Amino acid sequence: MSTDLNPLLQQFILEARDLLEQAGRSLLALEREPGGAEPMNALFRAVHTLKGTSGLFDILPLTRVVHAAEDLLDAVQGGRLTLLAETADVLLDALDQVGVWIDGLAEAGVLPAAAEAASGKWVDRLRAPLANADSAGAPASVAAVAAGLPAWIAVLSPAEQRSCAAMSGEDAGPLLAISYAPDAHCFFRGEDPLALTRQIDGLRLLRVEPVTPWPELDVLDPFVCNLRLHAIVAAPAAELEHLFRYVRDQIEMHPLPDGWPSDKPAADVALPDDVAALLEVLSGQQRLLEASAPDAMWEGRLGSVARVLRGALHHAGHDALAPGLESAVAAATVSGEPAPLLAYIAAQRIAALAAPAARPAHGAVTPPAQREPATPAAAEMRVAAPTTLRVEQAKIDAMMNLIGELVVAKNALAYLARRAEDGSLGVRELAREIKDRQALVNRIAEEMQTAVMAVRMLPVEHVFQRFPRLVRDIARRLGKQVELEIEGGETEADKNVIAALADPLIHMVRNSLDHGIETPEARRGAGKPPHGTIRLQALQDNDNVIIRVSDDGSGIDPDIVRRKAVEKGLLDAERAAALPDEEAIMLVFAPGFSTASAVSDLSGRGVGMDVVRSGVEKSGGRVALTSRKGAGTTVELTLPLSMAVSRIMTVACGERLFGVPMGLVVETVRVPRSALHSLRDREAFVLRDSVVPVVRLARLLDLPDEEDAADEQAILVVRLNGERLGIVVSAFREGMEVIVKPMDGILAGLRGFAGTTLLGDGRVLLILDLRELAL
């Protein structure tokens, strides 16, 4: 096979050969066992799949032949035609021919030139038995029309459409829709797109629109062509080809179907344009709601329609319409009838048709506020925003009680203020009273916080419950015997933490199944019981939830890890040999490392433990790994109980204060200036027998490097991606619990900051994103 084919085409060639072989085999089996349902299904599926797949490539002659073969088989399957020996012969011959073309495709990357001419003959041969069998059906003709109309045509006003069509009656030439997207720099090549288009003989309609919305005048670059031209013409395609021969790649032509414009509903037009896509999506939801389906599916149908509509509105930039949607969804939920939603959809379709131009598409221009927020927590919030939480009644009651207390405490303040006003209290007494009240409000605020957090808490069980099935199925496929033990499923963690846990956990369990637990024979050989055990544990430890996945499998062999790491070029042999065993096995977390010699179907495509680690660290957690060769492996994830409130440590850099997530902080040390050594262009110091690289916060932030006179340097030691790093700051300040707000609006794109929080004195504290800053 020629190697410069694109990978998709290479894959197609492999698959096509398989499918042809399968089809051939099934045909032969059918001859031996006429009417056999099994081979018939296999044959039909093979041809069907081949046709569907071939449509992805520019090999129309081949697709046409396979399509004809499929129609023939469809008639056989539908009982309209009997598969006679001669029909089977034609099929076999046709498939052989397709095989030859595939070979040609593999050689040259294009179909042999003869294919185009031969294709029609094969189609006729394949259709011959059909023509005799049923003269009524002509199923194939539909496909040609499915190509669809360009989007801009769909938004032409009916009057415009009619005006083109009325004229077309006179000279009966077929109408063509042309879209001309001139290159942005076309003016510099002396091209004049408008003049060129106007030269078309038989121009019926010309529309010119900006590719991107016109910018403000003072930033408009008049030398850049920001135009797209659409035209409907009654002219022979060959003439147009000639006229546009120098810009052929910028032209799209679509023949308009006979009888255009028709009163076809917009939904029938498969258009890759934003308005058309919105219409199509809306009409899809309408059809879904109108279709009859079992009651059991109602909730799912309604739910999915609501989600899709929310998505479509959001993507089309119509968030303002969302409240109407929500009330329609609510009405449909209450009544158990789709009518309110159908009415809403109908209104949206009219709105979308009426004002197509005013609509910015997300794909083109994204306002800054829509960009991915800088922090993972913020990203979670965005994703989680529209979802609903089911909350226990008791949790809501607890919050109601606290609100009651808060109201009382508030009234007490008014009373206190009155007493202060009428002078019946001395300053000292007043201060004491205020402190008392403050203590009360403080307690309520803390309890409120806890109560609100509790609402977001879900038992880990939510993730764990998927695993028994998963483990059973995978173990069976691997021919292993595995018992899954689950402990601590009732441990609660924040909803976002639970969500962040799912993927790493699946990966870890799959690793245990794949590489940890041995086959029953191997286990017997090692003197272990034939069935292995995987244990999933969850427990709470202060502000963290700990998830442990342990197995009693073969463990990780540090020597194999060392060898692999060296082979992968992660480090050199000398350094690898010098690593203690427990550090060597940590190499499995290194990006690009995967211990499986063959990437197994189950552990996915070569993603390894580094994905687990980065996923967990993104949520502010840590991963630890212990393993004993022959005895098993334990991976432990430590995740913050909640992502909403974070503990941070404040540090000073010159006059300024910054926050650092406490989860990253390993320790704080003060060392004499002389203890900092320069290693090439970086600094480092020795901390308990190991060398820790050092960077200066002022330099990371590009702040003026304050005078280094201080003899003692304050170093914040943090752990980033498993490595320790020292950060020189001016001073350490207190640790605190804060609610981190993601950067908003224009600041959302600012790198290096995870968010902001308000300090007690009203100042805004910037929380540093050290991963972004230091790496």
Partner 1 sequence: MRALVVDDATTVRMFHRGILEEAGFVVEEAMNGIEGLERALAGEVPPDLLVVDVNMPRMDGYAFLRAVRVEPALCDVPAMLISTERARMDADRAFAAGANLFLVKPVRPEALARFALFMTGAARECAR
Site for partner 1, residues 52 to 81, rule: CB under 8 A = 52-53, 55-56, 67
**DSSP 8-state secondary structure symbol assigned to residue 256:** P
Q: Considering only residues 314 through 333, tell me which ones interact with partner 1, judged by CB under 8 A.
A: 314-316
Q: Is 675 exposed, middle or buried, given 0-12, 13-18 or 19+ CB atoms closer than 10 A?
A: middle
If the CB atoms of residues 234 and 352 are measured against partner 1, the closer one turns out to be 352
**DSSP 8-state secondary structure symbol assigned to residue 512:** I
If the CB atoms of residues 128 and 140 are measured against partner 1, the closer one turns out to be 140
Binding span for partner 1 by CB under 8 A among 9-17, 337-345, 545-553, 646-654: 9-17
Question: Strand, helix or coil at 457?
Answer: strand
If the CB atoms of residues 314 and 629 are measured against partner 1, the closer one turns out to be 314
Q: Considering only residues 501 through 540, tell me which ones interact with partner 1, judged by CB under 8 A.
A: 501-503, 506
If the CB atoms of residues 378 and 718 are measured against partner 1, the closer one turns out to be 378
Q: Which of 470, 560, 671, 703 binds partner 1 (CB under 8 A)?
A: 470
If the CB atoms of residues 49 and 511 are measured against partner 1, the closer one turns out to be 49
If the CB atoms of residues 45 and 719 are measured against partner 1, the closer one turns out to be 45
Residue whose token pair is 């590489």: 515
3-state secondary structure 81-129: CCCCHHHHHHHHHHHHHHHHHHHHHHHHCCCCHHHHHHHHHHHHHHHHH
Q: Considering only residues 472 through 491, tell me which ones interact with partner 1, judged by CB under 8 A.
A: 473
Q: Considering only residues 537 through 596, tell me which ones interact with partner 1, judged by CB under 8 A.
A: none
Query: Closest separation between CB of residue 365 and partner 1, Å?
Result: 10
**DSSP 8-state secondary structure symbol assigned to residue 373:** P
If the CB atoms of residues 280 and 617 are measured against partner 1, the closer one turns out to be 280
Exposed e or buried b per residue across 549-586, where buried means at least 16 C-beta atoms within 10 angstroms of its C-beta: bbbbbbbbbbeebbebbbeeebeeeeebeebeeeebbb
Q: Which of 90, 164, 402, 499 binds partner 1 (CB under 8 A)?
A: 499
Q: Considering only residues 26 through 45, tell me which ones interact with partner 1, judged by CB under 8 A.
A: 45
As given in the structure block, the two tokens for residue 371 are: 């960009």
Query: Closest separation between CB of residue 316 and partner 1, Å?
Result: 7
Regarding 134 and contact with partner 1 (CB under 8 A), the answer is no
Q: Considering only residues 283 through 312, tell me which ones interact with partner 1, judged by CB under 8 A.
A: 284-285, 287-288, 290-294, 296-297, 299-308, 310-312
Compute the distance between CA of residue 641 and CA of residue 569 in angstroms, rounded to an integer: 37
If the CB atoms of residues 21 and 446 are measured against partner 1, the closer one turns out to be 21
Q: Considering only residues 326 through 365, tell me which ones interact with partner 1, judged by CB under 8 A.
A: 362-363
Q: Considering only residues 135 through 164, tell me which ones interact with partner 1, judged by CB under 8 A.
A: 139-140, 142-143, 146
Binding span for partner 1 by CB under 8 A among 231-239, 337-345, 499-507, 694-702: 499-507
Q: Which of 49, 491, 512, 634 binds partner 1 (CB under 8 A)?
A: 49
Query: Closest separation between CB of residue 21 and partner 1, Å?
Result: 15
Cis peptide before 261 (omega within 30 of 0): yes
Query: Closest separation between CB of residue 463 and partner 1, Å?
Result: 4
**Count of CB atoms situated within 10 Å of the CB of 347:** 14
Binding span for partner 1 by CB under 8 A among 49-57, 243-251, 579-587, 758-766: 49-57
Print the binding letters for residues 443-462 with partner 1: x by CB under 8 A, - otherwise: -------------------x
If the CB atoms of residues 283 and 756 are measured against partner 1, the closer one turns out to be 283
Helix (H) or strand (E) holding 650: strand 645-653
Question: Strand, helix or coil at 156?
Answer: coil
The residues near 679 (Cβ < 8 Å, ≥ 6 apart) are 693
Compute the distance between CA of residue 773 and CA of residue 650 in angstroms, rounded to an integer: 16
Query: Closest separation between CB of residue 7 and partner 1, Å?
Result: 7
Question: Strand, helix or coil at 595?
Answer: coil
Residues 523 and 624 sit within 8 Å (Cβ to Cβ): no
Compute the distance between CA of residue 676 and CA of residue 694 in angstroms, rounded to an integer: 8
Q: Which of 366, 401, 411, 442 binds partner 1 (CB under 8 A)?
A: 366
Regarding 272 and contact with partner 1 (CB under 8 A), the answer is yes
Residues 714 and 731 sit within 8 Å (Cβ to Cβ): yes
Binding span for partner 1 by CB under 8 A among 189-197, 464-472, 611-619, 697-705: 464-472
Question: Strand, helix or coil at 437?
Answer: helix
**DSSP 8-state secondary structure symbol assigned to residue 391:** -
Residue whose token pair is 């009656």: 169
If the CB atoms of residues 96 and 299 are measured against partner 1, the closer one turns out to be 299
Size of the site for partner 1 (CB under 8 A): 75
Compute the distance between CA of residue 643 and CA of residue 663 in angstroms, rounded to an integer: 11
Write the CA distances from 286 to 262, 280, 523, 708, integer angstroms. Answer: 21, 10, 57, 70
Report the DSSP pairing between strands 764-768 and 731-739: unpaired
